[in-house]
Structure 1
Amino acid sequence: MEKIVIDYIFRPFFVAIDGFKDVIGRNIQVISNYQETKQNNQRFKDKIEQLNYQLTKLEKIKNENQRLRKLLNFKERVPYQVVGASVISHSADNWSQIVTINRGQESGIKAKMAVVAEEGYLIGIIKRVTAHTSQVLLLTDQQFVTGGLVSRNASRDLGVVRGRKGSNKLLMNNLSWDADIVSEDIIVTSGLSGNLPKGLPIGEVISVSPDNYGLTQEAELNPFFDLNRLEEVLVITNFTTKTDVSLPPFNIDSLLIKGEE
């Protein structure tokens, strides 16, 4: 009789305790599921980061292969001796436009040699050389000067191409007052100095205007290559001055990039 009374009195407490145990059990399960979900999410996140890294790496390799293929394309088109190099640093100041490459005297490189990028676009000349590195004076530097030639067969007029201080454009001046030069003309190296081959693409004419009180003309040029994204180059170590890559069989049209692949 006493047991029945005790059961009757304490049964609500036992039921409450069992209910409390169920609540605790469910909460523990929820916490456990949350921890497992959190760990799974972290694993997925790590996997996504790894895949993104691999994709970035593959894209970098793809772009590098495209650049190298274009350099090789130029090398196979022209009868020049060339040395491939990678850009390892850019000038840190705003006054000079210079990059350093990882090839020097031991690779046969000397001062004043021409340096080209993809498809043979002229990007500068060798300025200083050490045993294993070289400085390249870019054509946008105010100290850069070379002879320029209008590649159009009906013209072939000559001028001097210079870099412009604080600008990514080029200036071609010393053109005769009656020089046949118009917007969209292609300007190539004249080869008259003997340091650079004839016919290397320099840039495209943006505008033409009178200069020196109308006694001469000058033209503004847009370089073919974005010098801010230089990574690989070719240094032309030997060439024949009789070769003109802007004339057949090395036609200028075959050297110009028509669009990204």
Structure 2
Amino acid sequence: MPHFFSNKRLILLMLGVILLVGLIFFSLSNRDNVNFPERVVKDVVGAGQSVFSKPAHFVTGIFDNIDGLLNTYTENKQLKNRLDEFATVQAEVTSLRTENEELKEIIGKEESLRDYNPIQASVIARNPDQWEEKIILDKGSNSGVKENMAVMTAKGLIGKVILTTPLTATVELVSTQNPNYRVSAMVIGGGKNVFGLIEGYDADRKELLLKRIDADIDIKEGQQVVSSGLGGIFPQGLVIGEITEVAIDEFGLTKQAFVRPAADFTLLSHVMVADRTLPETEGDDSENGEDGES
């Protein structure tokens, strides 16, 4: 009896295997439609896949987003480093381009300087306590630089040499507060040249003071101020700046004008020293280290 039941189980197992194999072959055969049991199985399996696939995709998406954020952070960090490098290179290029333009302007300016020989020099030192007062150049007496020689940039006059060594020269800027520092100047652009003296510097306005102009003479804002050449130090025609305001002086006898300098005294790197070939006149004020009156 137990042997019978044992054979019966074996027979049922074999029949089940045969039925399963038959269903598999039947399912794999090329048919245009499926039967009802297959539809039920497919629908159940599809629903189960939907239930499990959506959370799986959601979790996978979260990890993908985290990975993407990490990659984005790394890429942004690399890009920032490259931008920093680019900014450094760009600053160097801008500096070199500015320096090149300044040198070109200086070279172009030399062709019109008929009455003196320009000596090229660079600013090598500047005292913070006298930022608006003095600068030191890398050319001295060995290069032909002497005291009282005018100093300028391609844009305009900046000062004069007051002290030399064999290798350096100290320049006092026209923006100095030295009361004895004067530059003989003239105002042009009004049909008639008007003469005066650059005396003093307004630190608040960052402008030069043009004084000793006859009260009856008409000068206006926007007119250009240049060196007159009458004092024996500064050659004629060096640009000093532009008039921004005209007023009567405190005594009411003469006019004074505020002059915006053509040169930027805060950014001085390449300059020219004017080795003037014209003979200095006797009795001028150059011996006292100042330009004579007009």
Length-normalised TM-score, structure 2: 0.64
Name the SS of the counterpart of 1:228 in structure 2.
Answer: coil
The CA deviation string for residues 137-177 of structure 1, in whole angstroms up to 9 with x for no partner, is: 11111223111111236221211102326342111111112
2:169 maps to 134
Among 148, 151, 174, the alignment partner of 1:115 is: 151
- CA drift at 1:236: 0.6
Is residue 205 from structure 1 mapped to residue 243 from structure 2 by the alignment? yes
8 Å CA contact 2:132–2:265 kept in 1: the answer is no
2:135 maps to 99
Is residue 82 from structure 1 mapped to residue 118 from structure 2 by the alignment? yes
Considering only CA atoms, is the larger Rg found in Structure 1 or Structure 2?
2
The CA deviation string for residues 220-245 of structure 1, in whole angstroms up to 9 with x for no partner, is: 1111122101111111112447xxxx
1:234 maps to 272
Is residue 152 from structure 1 mapped to residue 186 from structure 2 by the alignment? no
- What one-letter code is carried by the residue in structure 1 that aligns with 2:100? N
Among 54, 59, 65, the alignment partner of 2:100 is: 65
Distance change (3 Å), C-alpha of 1:42 and 1:208: closer
The CA deviation string for residues 88-123 of structure 1, in whole angstroms up to 9 with x for no partner, is: 12222158511111111111001111111124x001
Q: CA RMSD in A?
A: 2.8
Which stretches of structure 1, 4 residues or more, deviate above 3 A after TM superposition? Answer: 33-52
Among 153, 158, 162, the alignment partner of 2:199 is: 162
Of 61-70 and 163-172, more deviation after overlay is shown by 163-172
Gaps in structure 1 of 5+ consecutive residues: 1-32, 242-261
Distance change (3 Å), C-alpha of 1:212 and 1:48: closer
- CA drift at 1:52: 3.3
- What one-letter code is carried by the residue in structure 1 that aligns with 2:144? G
Is residue 180 from structure 1 mapped to residue 218 from structure 2 by the alignment? yes
Distance 1:104 1:205 in 2: 34
Name the SS of the counterpart of 1:99 in structure 2.
Answer: strand
Length-normalised TM-score, structure 1: 0.71
- What one-letter code is carried by the residue in structure 1 that aligns with 2:122? S
Distance change (3 Å), C-alpha of 1:96 and 1:65: closer
8 Å CA contact 2:190–2:223 kept in 1: the answer is no
8 Å CA contact 2:202–2:208 kept in 1: the answer is no
Distance 1:174 1:84 in 2: 33
> How many residues are paired up?
213
Distance change (3 Å), C-alpha of 1:38 and 1:95: closer
8 Å CA contact 1:186–1:204 kept in 2: the answer is yes
Distance 2:90 2:245 in 1: 42
> Percent same amino acid among aligned pairs?
28
2:7 maps to none
